[in-house]
A = this chain, B = another copy of it.
Amino acid sequence: MSARTEPARGMRDFLPEDVRRREYVIAIIKRVYERYGFEPLETPAVENIDTLMGKYGEEGNQLIFKILMRGEHEATGKADLALRYDLTVPLARVIAHHQAKLPRLFKRYQIQPVWRADRPARGRFREFYQCDVDALGSSSPVVEAELCAAVADALTALGFDDFVIRINHRQLLSSLLSVAGVAPDRHGDALVAIDKLDKTGADGVRRELSQRGIGEQSATAVLEFFQSRTPESELDRLGGFVGGDEAGQAAVENLRAIMTLSSSTSAAGRIRVDASLARGLSYYTGAIMEINVADLAGSLGGGGRYDNLVGMFLGQSIPACGFSLGLERILVVMTERGMFPPTLATTSADLLLATFDVADMPHALRLAALLRGAGVRVLVYPDAEKIGKQIKYADSRGIPFVGILGGDEIAAGTLTVKDLAAKTQHSYAQDAAGTAILEAVRRERM
């Protein structure tokens, strides 16, 4: 009897070398976020279904994994729970639920998986990690500037030197659409279409605008505006286009403040206004950001201000803004570019401890405890097989040293240590072996 062994569609197993790469990236991102005063938060993978439904737009609702009711209710086929779809909506729920315990200015990061029943594709999975960083309680543009700086620092620390942060403003988009003659109740639809400009081109956007009931003339005005962009003086052009629209002008000023502040941060020279940036999610209310590198279709991450989302849970608005980096996207690019340090392809252990007689195993376990106490990672080979087989195993696992504990060594209180790369061997007193092995490991790593 044998059964299906693949992971579920769009999901992946991470073997040791995969986990090490993921943990390397996560550790760097965490360290940078903590330098900015962000604190860790974690939420459950499973949420009440009404917490998630209706927060991500119509497309989002369909991509949410829903969990069947249990026991006597299972047969109803109804769902009461759902898998986390992003880290922002759960954050808004947490802010509302734990308000009394949280400071009025709350800066948190959260690095956890989310699940979307999307069609799997290269770099797009059904389980993927988001690395989110959000600040709640302030509407100052310093918040946006610091978020962009933190993300820029994180990417720089990972070795990226060619990313671009694009920034736009939801209110500005709204004003642009109004000026172009799109009715307010069609703005959401229009944004979903415009968001695909890079993917589907002008014709695709025009088609989708038409399908979504936006008139020919408005579509032309919108597309003309977005296709004639000149990044250098974009803010002035935008100010000109929205003209007397007050909300539009306020948005332009907000973007100007963020850009000015950003010229004093690590995002300087990397951030630029792009009026065609729309972002798919429906909860944004202010600045929106996205981060790209040339060799990746799609973004490394994105975010924005969402001043009304907490209010949907709390009944009272709390200003909020955040940025999310996609771990998988970062890993894809880093792997293709060879950006991981060579020491990461590290071994499962520093030393394989080999014995040849079952009767010697208690000695081996005592010695292993001594070496581990000194800090050596020791794999005790559990079977008293031939030395050649044990050495071959160590070699195949990249374990650099093999400790040989035979009858002679036990009698003399020593350990013979083979250096597999240098093809040398040394004998050490057992109580000095730990330090010696650690030093040898350090030398090999350099």
Contacts and interface: CB of A to CB of B under 8 A. Distances in A.
A143 B264 contact: no
Given A65-B81, A149-B365, A361-B261, A20 B4 contact: no
Interface residues of A, number: 112
B8 A46 contact: yes
Interface in A284-341: 311-315
Q: For the complex, would chain A's binding face be called helix, strand, loop or mixed by DSSP majority?
A: mixed
Nearest to A35: B372
B13 A97 contact: yes
Contacts of A5: 93, 96-97, 313-314
Contact of A1 (B15, B312, B361, B382): B312
Given A47-B8, A377-B34, A383-B138, A20 B40 contact: yes
Interface in A49-89: 50-51, 62, 65-68, 70-71, 74-79, 81, 83
Highest count of chain B CB atoms <10 Å: which of A13, A140, A266, A396: A13
Contacts of A77: 68, 75-78
Instruction: Count identical subunits in the complex.
Output: 2
Given A138-B383, A378-B36, A44 B7 contact: yes
A319 B47 CA distance: 38
Contacts of A45: 45, 83, 113, 115, 127
Contacts of A383: 138, 140, 142
Interface in A340-372: 348-349, 352, 361-363, 365-366, 369, 372
Contact of A105 (B51, B66, B382): B382
B263 A362 contact: yes
Contacts of A379: 36-37, 107
Contact of A44 (B8, B23, B102, B265): B8
Given A2-B312, A77-B77, A265-B369, A260 B362 contact: yes
Contacts of A83: 45-46, 67
A70 B46 CA distance: 17
A107 B41 contact: no
Contacts of A62: 70-71
A19 interface: yes
A117 B44 contact: no
A314 B96 CA distance: 48
Contact of A6 (B48, B366, B376): B48
Contacts of A260: 362
Given A70-B62, A365-B145, A50 B11 contact: no
A108 interface: yes
Contact of A365 (B35, B90, B138, B261): B261
Nearest to A93: B5
A135 interface: yes
A170 to B, nearest CB: 20
Contacts of A365: 142, 145-146, 149, 261, 264-265
Contacts of A90: 13
A268 to B, nearest CB: 10
Contact of A19 (B40, B71, B143): B40
A153 interface: yes
Given A50-B4, A62-B70, A70-B65, A382 B41 contact: no
A127 to B, nearest CB: 5
A16 interface: yes
The 10 tightest CB contacts between A and B, nearest first, are A77-B77, A37-B379, A2-B315, A11-B44, A5-B97, A16-B39, A37-B349, A142-B382, A264-B362, A19-B40
Given A6-B97, A38-B348, A264-B363, 14 more contacts: A2-B96, A11-B44, A13-B94, A14-B42, A15-B94, A36-B372, A36-B380, A37-B379, A67-B83, A70-B117, A77-B77, A135-B382, A264-B362, A264-B366
